[in-house]
Structure 1
């Protein structure tokens, strides 16, 4: 019984690794893309991600700090 407990994590890790390889190979992307150095930094050229695929919402405005000073005047 202890051998099963010792081997089970290894079997699970191997199964997850095989699943990751299969998922990467069957992702359906022929051109993984590459990075090119630009004047402002790096830019991903090619690949399967279009500009509208990732939507980043506008950040919420920061809340005003609460004044906890009991001697503050309004």
Structure 2
């Protein structure tokens, strides 16, 4: 379940970033992304997932019931 939630968040992040064509690690630094809709349907506030980017592409967040952390890397258009 945790792996599915993390994968889902990363896919949503990449989709959100793809609208601007290219994103650098400097642009992501100190940003926070929050999941608000899935398939056009609003998500209850109590189940909101989020991801934050901090120094050196370190990421942490909340996937609805579990917290996660790790190191991200950008390669062309992929996180």
> Shared fold by TM > 0.5?
no
- Which of the pair is proportionally richer in strand? 2
TM-score normalized by structure 2?
Answer: 0.24
TM-score normalized by structure 1?
Answer: 0.25
- More relative contact order, 1 or 2 (CA 8 Å, 6+ apart): 2
User: Highest CA radius of gyration, 1 or 2?
Assistant: 1
